[in-house]
């Protein structure tokens, strides 16, 4: 991977990791922009697997890291959140202005999928993306936060909360934090953490305001470019009632719902030591439908 610093419009900075093996390909080559999940980065296994799949079909690809993620620190006293679409919008515009001539695609996982869907709804027909895929999306942030308080899901919540607190401690201390430090460090649920840290740090009036404004379910009817959503009913990050019915989907959105798949798992065969994963080839298959055309067709016909 080749790292590029991305200077943002508000004076902050983040990182874009490019696949250096495809640097020689022309700007007419399809380009896939990957958005990672909560507390993740370009180092995640799912991002690397999709990069490999895109490289196999001759596409260029990159991972747009969210602010203060991975091993890259941002400048401003803020981080990232599930509704921050400005950085993605700016990066896509920058690509178009710097000579990207081939089809432009995006794939987002989990929190990154929520960012992608919200952006697509906001941008409508003005988005330069030819096609997008969002995987394991927490479509209703509040309900998904509640889902992590039950059963086996508590393990995920505990692990991620520990990582989130470590990230906050790396960037702030009790004297520099623009939020209640004690509440942040004693939070035991996502909702408590988002209320103590995410909301005040990014200008929201508490977690309910944050969840209400940033849940991607509110934007699905406004999407105007071919988009595939892949979710699993057994995903520990959500409950079945967050899955929207067809009346809430734009005619450009296809919802692919699996009985099993977990959270960004979707193993469809192989062995425990050499599993076969469903997502990378499925994502490329869907996007390939739009790799040779700039027309945007209704893709609801896929069962």
With respect to residue 301, please indicate whether it lies within any of the assigned structural domains: no
**Is pLDDT above 80 for 24?**
yes
Q: Is 240 exposed, middle or buried (0-12, 13-18, 19+ CB in 10 A)?
A: exposed
Q: What CA–CA distances, in Å, run from 113 to 121, 173, 240?
A: 12, 30, 18
With respect to residue 297, please indicate whether it lies within any of the assigned structural domains: no
**Is pLDDT above 90 for 293?**
no
279-288 and 45-56 are packed helices; what angle lies between their axes, rounded to 10 degrees?
50
- Same-domain status, 272 and 124: yes
With respect to residue 130, please indicate whether it lies within any of the assigned structural domains: yes
Active-site residue set? 110, 235, 263
Task: Mark which of 194, 214, 234 sits at the end of a domain.
Answer: 214
- Same-domain status, 123 and 17: yes
pLDDT of res. 216:
97
Task: Mark which of 155, 182, 214 sits at the end of a domain.
Answer: 214
pLDDT of res. 60:
97
- Same-domain status, 125 and 246: yes
Is residue 298 a contact partner of residue 225, using CB atoms and an 8 Å limit?
A: no
- Same-domain status, 117 and 260: yes
Number of domains making up the chain: 2
pTM comes to: 0.93
pLDDT-derived band at 295 (thresholds 50, 70, 90) equals: very low
- pLDDT tens, position by position, 70-88: 899 999 999 999 999 999 9
- pLDDT tens, position by position, 155-180: 889 999 999 999 999 999 999 998 99
Task: Find the distance separating the first CA and the last CA of the chain, reported in whole Å.
Answer: 36
- Same-domain status, 234 and 192: no
> Which range marks the domain in which residue 205 is found?
141-214
- 3-class secondary structure per residue, the chain: CEEEEEECCCCCEEEEEECHHHCCCCCCCCEEEEECCCCCCCCCHHHHHHHHHHHHCCCEEEEECCCCCCCCCCCCCCCCCCCCCHHHHHHHHHHHHCCCCCCEEEEEECHHHHHHHHHHHHHHHHCCCCEEEEECCCCCHHHHHHHCCCCCHHHHHHHHHHHHHHHHHHHCCCCCCCCCHHHHHHCCCHHHHHHHHHHHHCCCCCHHHHHHHHCHHHHHHHCCCCEEEEEECCCCCCCHHHCCCHHHCCCCEEEEEECCCCCCCCEEEECCCCEEECHHHHHHHHHHCCCCCCCCCCCCCCC
- pLDDT tens, position by position, 235-291: 988 888 899 988 999 999 999 999 899 899 888 888 888 889 999 999 999 999 998
- Same-domain status, 128 and 153: no
With respect to residue 300, please indicate whether it lies within any of the assigned structural domains: no
CA distance 109 to 1: 19
- Same-domain status, 262 and 152: no
pLDDT of res. 128:
96
pLDDT of res. 274:
87
- Same-domain status, 267 and 124: yes
- Same-domain status, 209 and 235: no
- Same-domain status, 161 and 281: no
**Is pLDDT above 80 for 30?**
yes
With respect to residue 294, please indicate whether it lies within any of the assigned structural domains: no
> CATH number of the domain that 57 lies in?
3.40.50.1820
CA distance 264 to 278: 10
Q: Enter the tokens of residue 92.
A: 């896509």
With respect to residue 293, please indicate whether it lies within any of the assigned structural domains: no
- 3-class secondary structure per residue, 214-251: HCHHHHHHHCCCCEEEEEECCCCCCCHHHCCCHHHCCC
- Same-domain status, 229 and 153: no
- Same-domain status, 246 and 270: yes
pLDDT-derived band at 7 (thresholds 50, 70, 90) equals: very high
Task: Mark which of 214, 248, 266 sits at the end of a domain.
Answer: 214
With respect to residue 106, please indicate whether it lies within any of the assigned structural domains: yes
With respect to residue 119, please indicate whether it lies within any of the assigned structural domains: yes
């Amino acid at each position: 991977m080749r790292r590029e610093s991305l200077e943002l419009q508000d004076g902050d900075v983040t990182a874009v990791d490019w696949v250096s093996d495809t640097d020689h390909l022309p700007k007419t080559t399809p380009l896939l922009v990957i958005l990672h999940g909560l507390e993740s980065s370009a180092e995640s296994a799912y991002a690397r697997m999709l990069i490999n799949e895109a490289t196999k079909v001759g596409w260029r690809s990159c991972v747009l890291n969210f602010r203060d993620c991975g091993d890259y620190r941002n400048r401003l006293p803020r981080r990232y959140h599930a509704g921050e679409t400005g950085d993605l919008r700016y990066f896509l515009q920058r690509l178009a202005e710097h000579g990207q001539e081939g089809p432009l695609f995006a794939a987002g996982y989990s929190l990154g999928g929520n960012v992608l869907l919200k952006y697509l709804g906001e941008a409508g027909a003005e988005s330069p993306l030819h096609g997008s895929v969002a995987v394991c999306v927490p479509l209703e942030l509040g309900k998904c936060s509640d889902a992590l308080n039950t059963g086996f899901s508590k393990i995920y919540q505990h692990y991620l909360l520990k990582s989130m607190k470590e990230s906050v401690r790396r960037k702030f201390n009790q004297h520099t934090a623009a939020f209640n430090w004690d509440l942040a460090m004693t939070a035991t649920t996502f909702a408590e953490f988002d209320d103590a840290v995410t909301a005040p740090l990014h200008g929201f009036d508490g977690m309910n305001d944050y969840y209400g404004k940033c849940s991607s379910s509110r934007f699905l009817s406004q999407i105007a470019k071919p988009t595939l959503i892949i979710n699993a009913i057994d995903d520990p990050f959500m409950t079945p009632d967050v899955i929207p019915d067809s009346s809430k989907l734009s005619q450009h959105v296809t919802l692919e719902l699996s009985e099993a798949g977990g959270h960004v798992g979707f193993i469809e065969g192989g062995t425990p030591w050499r599993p076969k994963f469903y997502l990378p080839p499925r994502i490329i298959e869907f996007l390939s439908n739009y790799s040779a055309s700039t027309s945007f067709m209704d893709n609801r016909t896929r069962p």
